[in-house]
Structure 1
């Protein structure tokens, strides 16, 4: 939208005490050189996570894949590490939300590596016991030790 506004309006700011023909010509030349430079640069190139519209505008073909997992942030981290350009959409109408990942067709090999690493991290997390469960277990063990210590103290006092 900003580019559309820039195309329709021309803001020309010249700070001079007396507006001369030379100042107007210089300002117009600066504006023309700015437009040429902008045309040579081409459209802005987005990297990493982006919107679907930005991904499609790159004209390289888009492929999608369904990811139905709550650990989508891990996927984002791994994809950024591999330099994959992607866009994520969330399907809100399904009870456990499902995510659709759109990526460029040329990034297919890199995305396969991302998915392999993502699956490995998910498998590792399933094998690793929960910290909260470990904490509950150690709380129970400590309560038993405290009661045993109280019983010993009472026996020693008698």
Structure 2
């Protein structure tokens, strides 16, 4: 009797493990199908936003406005352009030394370009007023180093 119950238990465990493996494989297949559908939808979307090449930007036949930007400010500009949803292209002019960087935006986004420039200026003005984190850290390191260290003496109590 006991042997028969053990045999049935083993059969049940084997059949459920096969079921879970099949289920996992089916789930992975469904996920891959979903990813392919999402990828196909993205490829068809004509409204591409964000950083583009100058050729793509001018190919939209909406005109373009440009502004000069410093190399250090490109990352900040990208963040702000993403915030405002602006299509832009960055172009490096190598004919002069040091090279200049130009940002091209669609003509209809030129108002957003003005807003981005104002916000960037406001950020750089407040950035100068903020104290340096590294300077504060070194100040606190020196302060901690100047504190006297506590010395603990380990004493064992002996029962005599």
* Counterpart among 96, 107, 110 of residue 108 in structure 1: 110
Q: How far off its partner does 1:47 sit?
A: 1.1
Q: How far off its partner does 1:67 sit?
A: 0.7
**CA–CA distance in structure 2, aligned partners of residues 87 and 50 of structure 1:** 5
Residues 130 and 110 of structure 1, relative CA distance in 2, 3 Å threshold = same
TM norm structure 1: 0.59
Aligned to 1:54: 56
* Counterpart among 70, 75, 78 of residue 68 in structure 1: 70
- Would you say the 8 A contact 1:49–1:86 is kept in 2? yes
Aligned to 1:122: 124
- Would you say the 8 A contact 1:50–1:86 is kept in 2? yes
Q: Deviations 1:16-63 (Å, cap 9, x if unpaired)?
A: xxxxxxxxxxxxxxxxxxxxxxxxx8x933212111111010111111
Q: Deviations 1:104-139 (Å, cap 9, x if unpaired)?
A: 111111111111111111112111111111111111
**CA–CA distance in structure 2, aligned partners of residues 90 and 141 of structure 1:** 47
- Which structure would you say has the larger Rg? 2
**CA–CA distance in structure 1, aligned partners of residues 104 and 139 of structure 2:** 43
Aligned to 1:86: 88
- Number of residue pairs the alignment of both structures matches: 107
| Secondary structure at the counterpart of residue 66 of structure 2 | strand
Q: CA RMSD in A?
A: 2.5
Q: How far off its partner does 1:91 sit?
A: 4.3
Aligned to 2:47: 45
